Amino acid sequence: MIRKLVRALLAACALFALFAEPAHADDNILQVRVQHTPEGGGKKQPVEGVAITVTDAAGTVVGEGVTDASGVAKISVPAAGDFTVTIDPDTLPDGIGVSDGENSRTVKVTDGLGGNANFNLGAAPQEKDSKLSLLPRTLFNGIRFGLVIAIMSVGLSLIYGTTGLSNFAHGETVTIGAVMTAVASGWFTLSSARGGWGGLLQLSAAVVIGVSCAVAFSGALELVLWRPMRRRGIGLTSMMIVSIGLAMLVRFVIQMRYGSQPKSYAQFASQRNINLGPIGVTPRDLTTAVIALIALCAVAYLLMRTRTGKAIRAVSDNPDLASTTGINTERIILKVWLLGGALAGLGGVTFGLDEQVSWNMGTKILLLMFAAITLGGLGRPFGALVGSLAVGLFVQLWAWLFGDYTDLKTMGALMAMILVLLFRPQGILGKKERVG
Amino acid sequence: MSQILSNGLYGAIGVTAIAYCLAAIGLNIHFGYTGLLNFGQAGFALVGGYAVAMPVMNWQWSIWATIPVVIIASTVFALLLGIPTLRLRSDYLAIVTIAAAEILRLLVSTPKLDNVTGASDGINSFTNDIQNSIPGFLRGRSVPLWEKQISEYEMWVIMLGWFLVVVFSLAVWALMRSPWGRVVRSIREDEDAARSLGKNVFAYKMTSLILGGIVGGFGGAILVIGQRNASPGSFQTQFTFLTYAIVVLGGVGKVKGPIIGAMIFWFIISFSDSLLADWTDRTGFQLPTWVMDSSNFSFFRWILVGGGLVLLVIFRPQGIFGNRKEQVFDVR
């Protein structure tokens, strides 16, 4: 209410100023107004005491001035024509900056009307304390990104643990989950409103469809491809190369059918830029973090507290010994593939909420998943969780520390993985054993 | 049709086939003979390619003077990769090499290094020395390959490239008949046995990684010279996977494997691509648009490659011409 009043008042003032202007413009007056937008948005504020130089086309100084309390300086120029107005960055108050090339502009001055130049400045670039205030948000984002990677890589790690296969097609399971969710959410939006509870319901239904597709994909592959290959005694390296071929096949089928353009979920598009709380968490961020946490807790419960979980851990430790104790190894492996598919699909959905849904999103994140499970210790599901959090934090902290080198943040995580292998080859949680 | 067939033939002998063939010869040394799971052959090729382009571009070297740079840079990269990983289980090497190749690609694509690497656009105009060295009998004419015309520059690069392929293939053939080759193959079959006979397995693996890496580096060099452009887009992870497909196609652990593999592979790619282009354009026979159209037919070749790789490994792991006796697929 108060804000509205103020806004109305200011608008009235501006109107007055507009009407008052021509009265001053008796001879060739160049009016320069310097304002700045406070950090975090809001009304523009005038900037006082800024030194201004006006030069003509030949480069000779024809007038100088300093802005008053309303951020305005009036400088009379000898004749009509084009003039260059330059503000001196050194006279700007602390916290206000001007980027290179933005501190001068050319203004046309006409007889009787004068000329206007407006400078709208932003916050000073790269301030130390503002960077520190971004740290909580960076940490939150790192943990959130780590959780998203964790959902996907726990599945990858379980598969590796039980079958010994480094599954390069896991990225495509992720993509299938995300893409099918996006496709399904597209079906629903045709009929009813976006956003709100209806939108949430629609998106949930779409997520169920997408994750089911990922589960079906993963389980079907185990039945028609991996199980027969194991029966034929085809070795792990061959299977790994098969998974590479398979990943390529599926990836480009998706690209052909889904298209190369990234899309985002229709129901979530409207929620983009709402900020909550001091660290600026959007509902979207919070949702992905909560979904990931719930999924991971469920997996942890399954592994530690249920019979199936115990059997999975037994098969991971020693498949032969597990089957002599009466565990149906093949059934357990199928369950692991189904579980891995579900987690990958869900991971794809959360990753798709985070960024956009594209045909190669799984391939892009696959390397980070491998980095995570290697960091945590190959084949250990809780290692995958720790490794993923480490990777997520590392990626975000890299972007925070080296703001100019954001495009290299993936590189930082991969380098960290290589360094860890150099000093602790079994990974953070891995058993200390000879791996050579 | 003859146009399409000649496109296929051009693909089979062209610069890309040569570059991938060299990379495959290198990978064959790693994977086929030594049993190293190197998934970073794209990294070696990138090192080779930029080792040629960067000195010419930044310090005005002669392109011929960069040949030792290719060798040295590939060796250094191999040492960096090998020292932390060659003592570990083979899947660690796979993950580290794929990560290292990706690190290099990200590093040369970053805009921060624009003035050294040209960022994502890469480096152009470093091939004047090659242009000037075109011999007289090629100058001023294009060479016909059935219905396809090959320019003088391209023909010259193709000749240089196949010369390198022959040289390196002969070298591999000789190496693998030497005592070194026998030790390396015994490491592939049974690492512990080789170690118990007193062989320094680590040193042999490292030598193999370096040698194969150098050949892969020359593959990257030929690729950037042929394209007259060195850019990170040529050296994605896909490069490594295609190289694996070529090695498997031609026969793992065979001298002629990479040559046969690369020629057949790029013949199939170019042939299917121009066939589908013909079937999706507006004239003559046309595929139904729901199957594919002119906007998406070009993805089909990669589907073909992926499916082909799956079927090959399952049903003919010895490659198309190999015999099943020497099954050398599974390492670790």
Residue A104 in this model has a pLDDT that exceeds 80: no
**Amino acid sitting at position B214:** I
Q: Identify whether residues A262 and A392 lie together within a single domain.
A: yes
Cβ under 8 Å to A: B residues 72-101: 84-85, 87-92, 94-96, 98-100
Spatial separation of the C-alpha atoms in residues A20 and A25, rounded to whole Å: 10
The pLDDT tens digits of the residues spanning A155-202 come to 999 999 888 888 999 999 999 999 998 888 877 765 555 556 677 787
Spatial separation of the C-alpha atoms in residues B34 and A75, rounded to whole Å: 80
Across the interface, do A421 and B103 touch by the CB < 8 Å criterion?
no
User: Within a domain: residue B287?
Assistant: no
Spatial separation of the C-alpha atoms in residues A422 and A424, rounded to whole Å: 6
Confidence of residue A127 (pLDDT cuts 50, 70, 90): very low
**Structure-model confidence comparison of residues A379 and B257, the more confident one:** B257
Spatial separation of the C-alpha atoms in residues B95 and B39, rounded to whole Å: 7
Spatial separation of the C-alpha atoms in residues A134 and A123, rounded to whole Å: 15
**pLDDT the model gives residue A41:** 54
Spatial separation of the C-alpha atoms in residues A173 and A175, rounded to whole Å: 5
Find the mean pLDDT for residues B16-24.
96
Query: Which of A378-387, B6-15, B32-41 shows the lowest mean pLDDT across its residues?
Result: A378-387
Kindly report the nearest CA distance between residue B142 and chain A, in angstroms.
Answer: 36
Query: Which of A43-52, A350-359, B186-195, B252-261 shows the lowest mean pLDDT across its residues?
Result: A43-52
**Taking the CB of residue B315, how many other CB atoms lie within 10 A of it?**
7
Residue B302: name the closest of B260, B278, B269 by CA: B269
Spatial separation of the C-alpha atoms in residues A161 and A335, rounded to whole Å: 13
Residue A306 in this model has a pLDDT that exceeds 70: yes
Confidence of residue B332 (pLDDT cuts 50, 70, 90): very low
Q: Which helix (H) or strand (E) holds A62?
A: strand A61-66
**pLDDT the model gives residue A26:** 47
Structural domain count of chain B: 1
Confidence of residue A124 (pLDDT cuts 50, 70, 90): low
Kindly report the nearest CA distance between residue A26 and chain B, in angstroms.
Answer: 51
Average pLDDT, chain A: 79
Q: Identify whether residues A234 and A326 lie together within a single domain.
A: yes
Residue A5 in this model has a pLDDT that exceeds 60: no
- Is residue A25 less than 8 Å (CB to CB) from chain B? no
The pLDDT tens digits of the residues spanning A245-263 come to 999 999 999 988 888 787 7
Residue A133: name the closest of A275, A274, A277, A278 by CA: A278
Spatial separation of the C-alpha atoms in residues A243 and A172, rounded to whole Å: 10
**pLDDT the model gives residue B117:** 84
Q: Chain A: residue nearest B110 by CA?
A: A407
User: Within a domain: residue B249?
Assistant: no
Spatial separation of the C-alpha atoms in residues A154 and A302, rounded to whole Å: 13
User: Within a domain: residue B4?
Assistant: no
Residue A278 in this model has a pLDDT that exceeds 60: no
**pLDDT the model gives residue A17:** 47
Q: How far apart are the first and last CA of chain A?
A: 71
Cβ under 8 Å to A: B residues 235-264: 237-238, 241, 244-245, 248
Domain stops at, among A70, A94, A125 = A125
**pLDDT the model gives residue B125:** 82
**Structure-model confidence comparison of residues A126 and B216, the more confident one:** B216
**pLDDT the model gives residue A272:** 46
Q: Identify whether residues A180 and A307 lie together within a single domain.
A: yes
Q: Chain B: residue nearest A412 by CA?
A: B103
Rounded to two decimals, the pTM is: 0.79
Q: How far is CA B46 from CA A1, B51, B115, in A?
A: 62, 8, 18
Q: Identify whether residues A210 and A311 lie together within a single domain.
A: yes
**Structure-model confidence comparison of residues B53 and B125, the more confident one:** B53
Residue A281 in this model has a pLDDT that exceeds 80: no
User: Within a domain: residue A431?
Assistant: no
User: Within a domain: residue A436?
Assistant: no
Q: Which helix (H) or strand (E) holds A87?
A: strand A81-87
Token pair, residue B30, equals 């790693």
Confidence of residue B323 (pLDDT cuts 50, 70, 90): low
Burial of A196 (0-12, 13-18, 19+ CB in 10 A): exposed
Across the interface, do B87 and A236 touch by the CB < 8 Å criterion?
no
Confidence of residue A358 (pLDDT cuts 50, 70, 90): confident
Find the mean pLDDT for residues B140-156.
84
CB A200 within 8 A of CB A390: no
Domain range for residue B94?
A: 15-236
Confidence of residue B330 (pLDDT cuts 50, 70, 90): low
**pLDDT the model gives residue A126:** 45
Spatial separation of the C-alpha atoms in residues A218 and A176, rounded to whole Å: 10
The pLDDT tens digits of the residues spanning A372-430 come to 988 887 777 788 888 999 899 888 888 888 776 767 778 888 888 888 877 877 777 66
Q: Identify whether residues A257 and A285 lie together within a single domain.
A: yes
Confidence of residue B244 (pLDDT cuts 50, 70, 90): very high
Q: Identify whether residues A73 and A89 lie together within a single domain.
A: yes
User: Within a domain: residue A18?
Assistant: no
Spatial separation of the C-alpha atoms in residues B209 and B41, rounded to whole Å: 10
Confidence of residue B121 (pLDDT cuts 50, 70, 90): confident
The pLDDT tens digits of the residues spanning A199-240 come to 778 788 888 999 999 999 999 999 999 999 989 888 888 899
Give the best-scoring range by mean pLDDT among A26-35, A141-150, A410-419: A141-150
Task: For residue A248, give the CATH number of its domain.
Answer: 1.10.3470
Domain stops at, among A125, A141, A156 = A125
Average pLDDT, chain B: 88
Kindly report the nearest CA distance between residue B121 and chain A, in angstroms.
Answer: 15
**pLDDT the model gives residue B326:** 55
User: Within a domain: residue A168?
Assistant: yes
User: Within a domain: residue A432?
Assistant: no
The pLDDT tens digits of the residues spanning A59-101 come to 777 778 888 877 788 887 777 777 888 887 777 776 676 665 6
Token pair, residue A372, equals 């995570």
Cβ under 8 Å to A: B residues 287-326: 292, 296, 299-300, 302-303, 305-310, 313-314, 317
Task: For residue A62, give the CATH number of its domain.
Answer: 2.60.40.10
Q: Chain B: residue nearest A404 by CA?
A: B112
**pLDDT the model gives residue A430:** 66
**pLDDT the model gives residue A20:** 44
Across the interface, do A407 and B94 touch by the CB < 8 Å criterion?
no
User: Within a domain: residue B273?
Assistant: no
**pLDDT the model gives residue A75:** 80
Residue B259 in this model has a pLDDT that exceeds 90: yes
User: Within a domain: residue A137?
Assistant: yes
User: Within a domain: residue A141?
Assistant: yes
Give A286's contacts (C-beta < 8 A, 6+ positions apart). Answer: A276
DSSP B66-99: GHHHHHHHHHHHHHHHHHHHTTS-HHHHHHHHHH
Pick from A255, A370, A436: CB nearest B299: A255
**pLDDT the model gives residue B182:** 93
User: Within a domain: residue B155?
Assistant: yes
Residue A275 in this model has a pLDDT that exceeds 70: no
Chain B residues whose CB is inside 8 A of the A241 CB are 244, 248, 309, 313
Chain B residues whose CB is inside 8 A of the A247 CB are 306
Q: Identify whether residues A90 and A189 lie together within a single domain.
A: no
Q: Identify whether residues A120 and A179 lie together within a single domain.
A: no
Cα dihedral sign, A226-A231-A232-A236? positive
Residue B60, sorted as left (phi over 0), alpha (psi -120 to 50) or beta, turns out to be left
The pLDDT tens digits of the residues spanning B158-185 come to 999 999 999 999 999 999 999 999 999 9
Find the mean pLDDT for residues B321-330.
60
**pLDDT the model gives residue A28:** 75
User: Hey, of A378, A418, A422, A426, which one would you mutate to test binding to chain B, going by the most B CBs within 10 A of its CB?
Assistant: A418
Cα dihedral sign, A156-A159-A162-A166? negative
**pLDDT the model gives residue A420:** 82
Spatial separation of the C-alpha atoms in residues B208 and A378, rounded to whole Å: 26
Residue A131 in this model has a pLDDT that exceeds 60: yes
**pLDDT the model gives residue B277:** 85
Cβ under 8 Å to A: B residues 164-223: none
User: Within a domain: residue B247?
Assistant: no
Structural domain count of chain A: 2
Q: Identify whether residues A327 and A272 lie together within a single domain.
A: yes
User: Within a domain: residue B35?
Assistant: yes
Find the mean pLDDT for residues A290-318.
90
**pLDDT the model gives residue A287:** 78
Domain range for residue A260?
A: 130-423
Query: Which of A48-57, B96-105, B122-131 shows the lowest mean pLDDT across its residues?
Result: A48-57
**pLDDT the model gives residue A27:** 60
Q: Identify whether residues A97 and A168 lie together within a single domain.
A: no
Q: Identify whether residues A191 and A91 lie together within a single domain.
A: no
User: Within a domain: residue A434?
Assistant: no
Domain stops at, among A76, A107, A125 = A125
CB A145 within 8 A of CB A397: no
Confidence of residue A56 (pLDDT cuts 50, 70, 90): confident
Question: For chain A, what percent of residues have pLDDT higher than 90?
Answer: 23
User: Within a domain: residue B288?
Assistant: no
